[in-house]
Structure 1
Amino acid sequence: MIDHIGLRVTDLSASRTFFERSLAPLGYTVLHDFGEEIALGGPVPGVRKPVPDLWLSVAPEVTPIHLSFFARDSAQVDAFHTAGLAAGGRDNGVPGLRPAYGPGYYAAFVLDPDGNNIEAVFHGDASLAD
């Protein structure tokens, strides 16, 4: 299991705005602000408080990556996509089923200010099984 990830960004202020707004529907907030680095986190099953699992730090250049976030249901995916576009992101895939990725795979994709492909995904009822 991945504990956290560090994402390099060229404009921390723009990225903070994008991630704060687009991940809010998934329960994410800024947990730490160290000036040139911030950490966001959201709810983690079995943990009482949010965990800082997304760290943003400034870099002069970045190589875009794909980063996906778990959603509890398709409504959260829809809300992520709407919030991401409102926060200045660019559409990279409207909310919907993606059967080629697996049964019940419901996702949306938004490009952040640095071109990172940010996804929210709900794996259908199978993701809720024990």
Structure 2
Amino acid sequence: MFDHVKFGVSDYAASKAFFLKALEPLGVAIDTDWPQTCGVELIGPTSKASLCLYQTEEKPARLHLAFAAKNRQQVDAFYRAALEAGGKDNGAPGLRPRYHANYYAAFVIGPDGHNIEVVCQEYDEESAGLAMLPR
């Protein structure tokens, strides 16, 4: 839906480390790194859209960034990785039926107070307890 999202962070090294670890389960990695000028550009394995972080002394407004997961296991892995990377819980993995019946997401607060979400919006047959039924 977007080409790139770029936002400033107060501690470039901490934010870079946080996003790399937290988004590793989604296959996100560094595409380009210009720490002195533009920061770091992170991209997923099949995406053309990127997330860019750069050092700033400005205090940006809180952002809500939602990343797409292929399955619910990626949502769970993101949540664990993000907490290990220093994120703060803002909603454990689970269904969010107020959005729709298959909205499975987890939320953490990153180093600069941004709300980081990973969501899978696909029906998950295994989680629904239907995987063992004959087809």
What TM-score, normalized to structure 1? Answer: 0.88
Identical-residue share of aligned pairs (%): 45
Aligned to 2:55: 58
Q: Using the alignment, how far apart are the partners of 2:51 and 2:19 within structure 1?
A: 10
Tell me by how many angstroms 1:43 deviates.
2.2
Larger radius of gyration: 2
Q: Which has the higher helix share?
A: 1
Alignment gaps of 5+ in structure 2: 125-135
SS in 2 for 1:120: strand
Tell me by how many angstroms 1:62 deviates.
2.0
* AA in 2 matched with 1:42: G
Q: Using the alignment, how far apart are the partners of 2:85 and 2:7 within structure 1?
A: 18
1:68 paired to 2:66:
yes
Aligned to 1:32: 32
Aligned to 2:79: 81
Count of aligned positions? 121
What TM-score, normalized to structure 2? Answer: 0.85
Aligned to 1:21: 21
Superposed, 1:92-111 pairs within 5 Å as: 92-111=90-109
* AA in 2 matched with 1:121: V
Q: Which has the higher strand share?
A: 1
Aligned to 2:44: 42
Alignment gaps of 5+ in structure 1: 45-49
CA RMSD of aligned residues (A): 1.4
Runs of 4+ aligned residues of structure 1 deviating over 4 Å after TM superposition are none
